[in-house]
């Protein structure tokens, strides 16, 4: 069954076209790699899939929800790990996760379980502002999977992570998680190696996947 179906998707910011003519199909359990240089439209595509941005033309169907009309169906099913960790700096990691857990109707035991899983049990009560970028990224990953989403939208998820931390997060956000994933990355070989479907973007339009995307 298709988890994501995009047909000639288009999204603009004012007059500027950020995405155009994007079509892709991804089945449940598969991983889609989205590749392209800076400003190619990768993050815009993720935000459309998350329901954070409305598509302006074309068709977008995510986990059975037609966007934007059925956007409300997505939050319970989608985990989003973007450039911003979506954590409050003045709160501790535990407080942040408990806050998101309450918004998602998830119990505190899941928070403790995830803090241990991302290796943050010892630093869980430190304010986020005192943590390194790598540790914040671990918390952000825990936040993204807190509600056990069916679809993970990952924007450079391994940014700031050392190899040990990247390995630690693998069962949560990697292929081993078994979730349907959309993975934005600049690491072409790495992303292609862990994906079933790939799409290249250049100036918001589909382009052949390869090194040319970055020229």
Partner 1 sequence: MIAGARAILRKDLLIELRTKESVPAMVLFSVTVYVLFHFGLDRDSLDGELASGVLWVTLLLAAVIGVTRLFAAEREQGGIDGLLLAPVDRTSLFVAKAAALFVFLTAVELVAVPAFALLLLGPGLGGALPELFVILALANLGVAAVGALVAALAAETRARELIVPLLLLPLLVPLLIACAQATEPLLRQDAGPEELGRWLSLLSLYDVVFVLLSIAVFDFLLED
Give the contacts of 23 (CB within 8 A, at least 6 positions apart). Answer: 6, 7, 8, 9, 58, 206
Distance in Å from the first CA to the final CA of the chain: 36
| DSSP secondary structure code for residue 87 in this structure | -
Q: How many residues does the chain have?
A: 215
Only segment of 1-9, 16-24, 29-37, 86-94 that touches partner 1 (CB under 8 A): 86-94
Three-state DSSP state, 213: helix
Among 18, 20, 35, 87, binds partner 1 (CB under 8 A): 87
Does position 49 interact with partner 1 (CB under 8 A)? The reply is no
Query: How many residues interact with partner 1 (rule CB under 8 A)?
Result: 27
Which of 68, 88, 101, 195 is closest to 131 using CA atoms? 88
Shortest Å, Cβ 68 to partner 1: 8
Instruction: Tell me whether residue 90 or residue 189 sits nearer to partner 1 (CB atom).
Output: 90
Nearer to partner 1, 51 or 200 (CB): 51
Per-residue contact track with partner 1, 105 to 124, x per CB under 8 A?
Answer: x-------------------
**103: Cβ–Cβ under 8 A, 6 or more apart, which residues?**
none
Binder of partner 1 out of 57, 76, 116, 176 (CB under 8 A): 76
| Alpha carbons 137 and 160: distance in angstroms, whole number | 7
Based on the shown chain and the rule CB under 8 A, indicate whether residue 51 belongs to the binding site for partner 1.
yes
The residue (of 104 and 205) whose beta carbon lies closer to partner 1 is: 104
DSSP code string of 30-68: -EEEEEE-TTSSHHHHHHHHHTSS--SEEEEEETTEEET
Q: Is 150 in the site for partner 1 (CB under 8 A)?
A: no
Provide the minimum distance between the beta carbon of 124 and partner 1 in the complex, in angstroms, as a whole number. Answer: 16
Residue 55 phi, psi (nearest 5):
-70, 145
| Minimum gap (Å) between residue 132 Cβ and partner 1 | 17
Q: How far apart are CA 36 and CA 44, in angstroms?
A: 12
Q: Which is nearer to partner 1, 131 or 191 (CB)?
A: 131
Which CB sits closer to partner 1, 15 or 90?
Answer: 90
- Interface residues with partner 1 (CB under 8 A) are 50-54, 72, 75-76, 78, 80, 82, 84-91, 95, 99-100, 102-105, 127
């Amino acid at each position: 069954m298709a988890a994501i179906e995009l047909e000639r998707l288009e999204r603009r910011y004012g007059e500027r076209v950020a995405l155009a003519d994007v079509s892709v199909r991804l089945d449940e359990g598969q991983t889609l790699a989205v590749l392209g240089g800076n400003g190619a439209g990768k993050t815009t595509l993720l935000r459309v899939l998350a329901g954070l941005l409305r598509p302006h033309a074309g068709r977008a169907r995510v986990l059975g929800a037609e966007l934007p009309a059925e956007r409300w169906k997505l939050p319970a099913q989608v985990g989003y790990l973007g450039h911003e960790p979506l954590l409050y700096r003045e709160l501790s990691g535990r407080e942040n996760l408990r806050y998101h857990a309450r918004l998602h109707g998830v119990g505190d035991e899941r928070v403790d379980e995830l803090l241990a899983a991302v290796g943050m049990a010892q630093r869980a009560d430190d304010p986020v502002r005192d943590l390194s970028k790598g540790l914040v990224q671990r918390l952000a990953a825990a936040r993204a999977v807190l509600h056990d989403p069916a679809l993970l939208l990952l924007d450079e998820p391994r940014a700031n992570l050392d190899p040990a931390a990247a390995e630690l997060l693998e069962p949560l956000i990697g292929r081993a998680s078994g979730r349907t994933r959309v993975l934005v990355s600049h690491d072409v070989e790495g992303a292609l190696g862990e994906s079933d479907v790939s799409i290249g973007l250049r100036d918001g339009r589909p382009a052949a996947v390869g090194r040319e995307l970055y020229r």
